[in-house]
Amino acid sequence: MRTSLAAALAAGLTIAAPITSAAAAVATPHDDTSGPIGGPLLGSDGVVVQTLPGGPSLPTDLSMGSWLVADADTGEVLAAKAPHERFLPASTLKTLTAVTLIPRLSPAQTQKASDTDVAVDGSKVGLVSGFPYTVKTLFTALLVVSGNDAADALAEAAGGIPTTVRLMNAEAKHLQALDTVARTPSGLDAPGESSSAYDLALIAREGLSMPAFRHYIGVVHATVPAPHRQHFEIYTHNRLLTTYRGDIGVKNGYTIAAGGTYVGAATRGGHTIIVTLMHANPDFWPQAKELLDWGFAAEGKVVPVGTLVAPVDPAARPVVEKVQARPVVASDRRTPPASGGVASWEIALLAVSASTAVMVTLRRLRRRPRLSLPPL
């Protein structure tokens, strides 16, 4: 949006405070005493929009707890409802997991799934305990089918779940996503965990600056390896990625407590719009589509109500030593790791069980529709 403040005033609009452009977004820590981050209008718990004459009206069915529409190119927030109100993020928190770990892990590095990874609650891609997966495969499972098992395996590859959660919270502060508190790498409901429509847009915008992130969120179909040289297919849970013109993906989520959550982006004519929703009905896809439509129609026809701020200091991202890739040996591909005095018949039984589980999963994937309700 490139409408000037002078043009807005000439149109007779009332501006509560000067709007900061994306180019002027400060790269210094936010002072809690200076008002809501991103601009004073974003402190509202209601709808904030400043439409110029002839501008598009907002969709009427926007009953979710909060939402935000932003210009990804300039960082301008075009409209929002309660953008800083905190809600459970569900699987949209995986965007923070990805933004945090993509710079730290080599795509070719391998990580064996653990019993704990495999037993995690919620949506899973179907990792097999003891089987090695590349980080690239795990990121694909994380962002294509919202695998909580993949999230935990990635966390283990980065030094463990507690370490990864600390890194995620440090990354959120670096991005000035101050409403966000991570407690898990997967976004499963946890005491104290939170994010906001504003923060999800900040995190998504950072992710869109990473070529690897853009690749993973745009994957519609992929294969995941399994024991005995098998593999199974996965398909995106993001319904707009395959149905909305120009959609480039990002992430959706759902738990009973969080409701539907979504952060998405689309590009048309070289112009990208970001939309975020929180505490929505599980079937929020029509509302997400309408807000994307509105965002494209609003170009040059609204006065921004705020801005997506820049990171504190691009050179000050929390740093840990990148974990080095480990060669995969032949034994890694065939048997689970030894545990105490496990008998050979027990190992054989585990292998048969794993193979059976993979084949059952494959048959189920072939029978069910490719796109399902949002995952946990």
Summarised one tens digit per residue, pLDDT across range 190-220 is 999 999 999 999 999 999 999 999 999 999 9
Determine whether 289 is an active site residue. no
Query: Are the beta carbons of 232 and 358 closer than 8 angstroms?
Result: yes
pLDDT above 90 (res 328): no
146 is annotated as an active-site residue? yes
- 321 burial class (0-12, 13-18, 19+ CB within 10 angstroms)? exposed
Q: Which residue has the higher pLDDT, 35 or 179?
A: 179
Per the CB < 8 A criterion, the answer to whether 346 and 337 are in contact is no
Task: Calculate helix-pair angle for 135-144, 94-101, nearest 10 degrees.
Answer: 160
Structure-token pair, residue 299: 């170009």
Q: Which residues, 6 or more positions from 84, have their beta carbon under 8 angstroms from its beta carbon?
A: 36, 37, 42, 43, 179, 196, 197, 198
Mean pLDDT of 346-368: 38
Catalytic residue among 66, 123, 146, 194: 146
Beta bridge partners of 77: 70, 306
Catalytic residue among 44, 91, 194, 195, which? 91
- Please say if the pLDDT value at position 331 is more than 70: no
Active site residue 66: no
Residue 320 has pLDDT above 60, yes or no: no
| Alpha-carbon 64 to chain mean position | 18
| Nearest C-alpha neighbor of 271 from the set 206, 208, 200, 220 | 208
Report pLDDT digits (tens) over 262-307: 999 999 999 999 999 999 999 999 999 999 999 999 999 999 999 9
Tokens 């004459």 correspond to what residue?
Answer: 53
Q: What whole-number distance in Å separates Cα of residue 123 and Cα of residue 315? A: 35
- Phi/psi of residue 76, each to 5°? -75, 135
Provide the mean pLDDT of the chain. 83
The catalytic residue among 44, 66, 81, 94 is 94
13 pLDDT more than 90: no
More confident residue, 32 or 213: 213
| Domains of the chain in sequence order | 90-249+342-367 (3.40.710.10)
**Beta carbons of 313 and 177 less than 8 angstroms apart:** no
The pLDDT score that the predictor gives to residue 28 is 59
Higher-confidence residue: 318 or 51? 51
For the cut 80, the answer to whether the pLDDT of residue 240 exceeds it is: yes
What's the average model confidence in pLDDT over 100-104? 98
Q: What is the DSSP string of 158-188?
A: TT-HHHHHHHHHHHHHHTT-TT-B-S-SS--
pLDDT digits (tens, 9 = 90+) for 57-74: 999 999 999 999 999 999
pLDDT of 125-140, one tens digit each?
999 999 999 999 999 9
Q: What percentage of the chain has pLDDT greater than the value 70?
A: 74
pLDDT score, position 313: 77
What's this model's pTM, rounded to 2 decimal places?
0.79
- pLDDT band at 161, cuts 50/70/90? very high
| Mean pLDDT lowest among 1-15, 218-232, 246-260 | 1-15
Alpha helices in 61-210 (DSSP H): 94-101, 115-118, 135-144, 148-157, 161-174, 197-208
Q: Give the pLDDT score at 35.
A: 85
